[in-house]
Chains A and B, each alone.
Chain A
C-alpha cells in the first residue's frame, strides 16, 4: 500500500514536471503579451499587469492582418492539394500492383529526410523558373512538396488496412477507381485525413525559412515572417510585447482546431490496428 502511494506520487510529480517544462514558454508568452513598457523585461511567474495595448497594436496593423490572410490561404490550399494528391497516390501505392512500388515508397520517404536548407537553393531555382517568386504559389508548391511524403505514407498505411473485399464488392457493383476512392474509401479515411491534414496545416502555418526566402514584399508575407520582422519605434527596439501578442493570436486558432479534432486525431493515429 505504501509502495503504491509512493509510486503514484512519483508518477504525478513526473507528469507535473513534464507539463511545466512543455507549457512554460507558451505561458510566458501569454503573460508577456499582456504587459507593456519595462514590465516585459521583469521576469515574473504570476500575472502582474493586464493591458490589451499589445493586441490593439497588432490588430491595427493592416500588414499583419494581410499576413494572416496569406497564411490562411497558403496553408489551406496546401492541405487541399496535399490531400487530393496523397489520397489518389496512396490508393495506387496501397492497392494497385505495379513494378517498383516498394522502391517508390522508399524514395518518397527518403525525400522527406532532407533538411529544408539542403533543397532551398534548388527550390529557389524551381520557383524562379515557374515565375512564382514572391507569390503565394511559391510557398504552396514548396509546402506541398514537403508535406506530401508524410501524408502519402500515413494514408498508404491506412488504406492498406482497409479490407480488400470491400473494394472488390464495389468493383462488382460497377465502381470505377475514382468512385471507390471518393465514395467508398474517403468516408472510411476521414480520421486519417483529418490527422494528416491538420499536421500539414500546422506545418505550413508555422514554416519560416521558405516563407522568408520566397517572398520579398510586405503584402506577400506569412505570419511567422511578419512576426519576426515586426519593428518597434526605433531600430534598436525589439517590440517583444507586440511579438508575443501576435504569436498568441496566431497560435490560438491552431489550438482550437486541434481541440475540435482531437478525438479524430487519436483515432487516426491508432486506427488500422483494429477493424470496425
Chain B
C-alpha cells in the first residue's frame, strides 16, 4: 500500500561504497524485482529499504514520508529471508504470532489473523509443529505466513526460493504470484539473481550492476529493448548471442546482439551467416543448435522441438532484422 521512493541512496561499509547512488520510484501495489549478478548489492539495497541497514546518504521515502531514521518495525514492512529465519523453539503458530504479540495486540485478533494467513497458504494443519518438523517448502510458507500476519505496507523477499529444490521452487513461485494477485494493494519487492524468477513474477524489473541501476522496466521492455549489453545478456535464457568485429561492422555497430529465437535456418542464397552445427540440445518443445560461424562463440539458434539438425550439417542462417540489437563502443544501443 505504499509508494517507495529512493533518492540518490548510497551505502558504504567503511571506505567501500556498495550502493552507489540509486534513484528509483516503486509504485503503490507494484511487484518490483531487483535482479543482478551475485554481489551487485541487491540484498544490501533491500536491507536499506527494510531498515536493517542504515542508509549512508540520500533519502528513502514511504508515501512521501522520509523513513531513513525509522526503525524496521515501524516502517510497516515484512521480510521473508532466504534461510526462512523461523524461531526454532517456537511452534508455527507462535512464529506467526510473535510480532503481533510484541505489539500487544488483542489475542482474539492475533488468532484470527494467524488462522486466516495459515488458511491462505494451506498450512493451517501445521500450526502446532516446530519448524524442524517441517519440510523446506513448508518452512518457507510459514515464513511467508509470518509476513502476511504483520499486514505490512511492503513485502520484502530476499531470494526466498533459492534454498528449495527445482520442483518446489516452481510451486512456491506460483504461490507468491498468487499472493501478489490476492493482495492487490501491497507493494512487493523481491530480490533474486535468477532472471527467470524476475521475468515470471515482476510487474517491473530493476536490473542492478555493481551498486547502480542499469535499467528499470517491465519484463517485456527489458527483453525487447535492453539499453545496454549487460541487460541484454542478463535477461533471457538461453542468453542473447553477441557478435563482434566484422560481423558487427556489417550492421554498423560494435556489438551485435540477436536472440536465439530470432535467427532462422534459410536457403544458401538468403543466408547471411554460414557455419557448421557443432552441438544440439533437444528440450522437447525447443531445439537449440550451436552453430560455428567463425565468431568468438558458437551462435545459438532456437528451432522447434522437431526440427533438429544433425551435428556436422553445413547451414546458412539469417537474423530477423527488426529484432537485431545494435550496441556502440560504450555498450549502449545505437
Identify the A interface with B (CB < 8 A).
163, 165-166, 168-175, 179, 184, 187-188, 276
Contacts and interface: CB of A to CB of B under 8 A. Distances in A.
Instruction: Give me the 5 closest cross-chain CB pairs, A-B, nearest first.
Output: A174-B73, A173-B99, A165-B85, A187-B89, A169-B85
B18 interface: no
Given A171-B72, A171-B73, A172-B77, A166 B85 contact: yes
A169 B79 contact: yes
A84 to B, nearest CB: 20
A184 B99 CA distance: 12
A187 B86 CA distance: 13
B328 to A, nearest CB: 43
A166 B102 contact: no
Interface in B36-89: 50, 52, 71-74, 77-79, 81-83, 85-89
Contacts of B77: 172
18 contacts: A165-B81, A165-B82, A166-B87, A166-B88, A168-B79, A169-B85, A169-B87, A170-B87, A170-B98, A171-B71, A171-B72, A172-B73, A173-B150, A174-B102, A174-B103, A187-B89, A276-B88, A276-B132
Contact of A174 (B85, B88, B99, B146): B99
B50 A172 contact: yes
- Determine the interface band of chain B, counting residues with CB < 8 A from chain A: 20 to 34
B73 A173 contact: yes
Contacts of A168: 52, 79, 81, 85
**Chain A binding surface SS class:** helix
Contact of A179 (B81, B83, B102): B102
A175 B102 contact: yes
A170 B87 CA distance: 9
Given A163-B83, A276-B132, A173 B52 contact: no
Contact of B79 (A163, A172, A175): A172
A276 B87 CA distance: 11
Nearest to A174: B73
Contacts of A179: 102
A270 B71 CA distance: 36
A170 B79 CA distance: 10
Contacts of A175: 73, 98, 102
